[in-house]
Amino acid sequence: MYRTTPFYERTSVLNKTGLWAHWSGYLSAAQYQLSEKFEYFAVRNSAGVYDTSPLYKYSIRGRDAEKFLSGVLARDIRKCRPGRAQYTIWCDDDGFVIEDGVINRLSATEFMLSAAEPNLAYFQGLVGYEEVEIEDVSDSIASFAFQGPLSRRILSAISPDVDKLGYFHLTETKIGGSPVTVSRTGYTGDLGYEIWSPADEALGVWDAVFEASEGYGVVPFGETALLMTRIEAGLLLIGADFRPSRFAWTDADKSTPLELGFGWMFRSIETESRPFIGREAIRNELSNGSRWRLIGLVLDWQSWDDVYGRAGHVPPKDHTPLAEETMLYKDEEQVGFATSWMYSPMVQRHIAIAQVRPELAALGTEVSFEVTIDHHLDYVKARVTRMPFYDPPHKTA
Query: For residue 140, which of 168, 187, 179, 101 has the smallest C-alpha distance?
Result: 179
For a pLDDT cut of 90, what percent of the chain falls above it? Answer: 98
Is 67 buried (19+), middle (13-18) or exposed (0-12) by CB count in 10 A?
middle
Mean pLDDT of 49-77: 98
Quick: pLDDT tens for 315-374. 999 999 999 999 999 999 999 999 999 999 999 999 999 999 999 999 999 999 999 999
Q: Model's pTM, two decimal places?
A: 0.97
CA distance 33 to 21: 15
Mean pLDDT of 168-177: 97
Mean pLDDT of 134-156: 98
Domains of the chain with bracketed CATH = 8-56+139-221 (3.30.1360.120), 293-394 (2.40.30.110)
pLDDT at res. 162? 97
Answer whether residue 77 shows pLDDT above 90.
yes
Q: Phi-psi category of 367—alpha, beta or left, where left has phi over 0 and alpha has psi -120 to 50?
A: beta
CA distance 29 to 14: 10
* Backbone phi, psi, residue 269, to 5°: -65, -30
